[in-house]
Amino acid sequence: MQTYVALLRGVNVGKNLLKMERLRQLLPDLGFKNVTTYLQSGNVVLQAEGSPSSVSSAIEQKLAGETRLPVTVLVRTPAELKSIIARNPFLKEKGVDRSKLHVTFLASPGGKDALKRLSALNAGADQFRLSGKEVYLYCPNGYGISKLSNNALEKALSVKATTRNWNTVNKLYAIASKSF
């Protein structure tokens, strides 16, 4: 069995309410083991057979059938999270407040003109770095007022995405990398 981190987009925002206890009850029905949730925002570490895309599809279908929530699920391995953490370009810059760092996880790379489309967002003081299926964000005035919101990135890149703060990314890696 492989360990995966499943990132559910838009859970417990607005009317998309899903208690993590309910999620922990539903996922073993799919054959997943050691299901662990982190916070109330749709972060799940689990063990499963199959590919990341099959795990993602299975969770999306289960949630659609059981809860009627339109949830996008992006899946990464612990090795991918480790690489994402190591590649964060903002960690090499002086004066960066790590509490203002975020990572937007993309369902697929944004395409050949992704950088151009992101640059057109007029981010003000906020900065981004695109790297494969992730967009690293530094929002010195806070993510809540950033023009680099999850919705803005999805629209600019025409791809599903979900964003996590830096602390959550690191905590999910710590949970996923421990042996079950």
DSSP for 63-83 reads: HHHHT----EEEEE-HHHHHH
Residue 175 has pLDDT above 90, yes or no: yes
CA end-to-end distance (rounded Å), the chain: 11
Question: How far is Cα 107 from Cα 90, in angstroms, rounded to an integer?
Answer: 22
Residue 180 has pLDDT above 70, yes or no: no
Helix axes 166-177, 78-86, angle to 10 degrees: 140
Q: How many CB atoms lie within 10 A of CB 96?
A: 16
Range of the domain at 29: 2-78
Question: Are 15 and 58 part of one and the same domain?
Answer: yes
Question: Are 102 and 28 part of one and the same domain?
Answer: no
Q: What are the tens digits of pLDDT across the range 121-168?
A: 988 999 999 999 999 999 999 999 999 999 999 999 999 999 999 999
Question: Are 66 and 110 part of one and the same domain?
Answer: no
Q: What are the tens digits of pLDDT across the range 74-122?
A: 999 999 999 999 999 999 999 999 999 999 999 999 888 999 999 999 8
- Average per-residue pLDDT in the chain? 93
Query: Hey, what's the torsion of the CAs at 32, 38, 40, 43, to 10 degrees?
Result: -60
Residue 13 has pLDDT above 80, yes or no: no
Question: How far is Cα 49 from Cα 100, in angstroms, rounded to an integer?
Answer: 35
Question: Which pLDDT band, with edges at 50, 70 and 90, does 54 fall under?
Answer: very high
Domain boundary among 30, 61, 78: 78
Total of domains in the chain:
2
Question: Are 113 and 70 part of one and the same domain?
Answer: no
Higher pLDDT, 44 or 13: 44
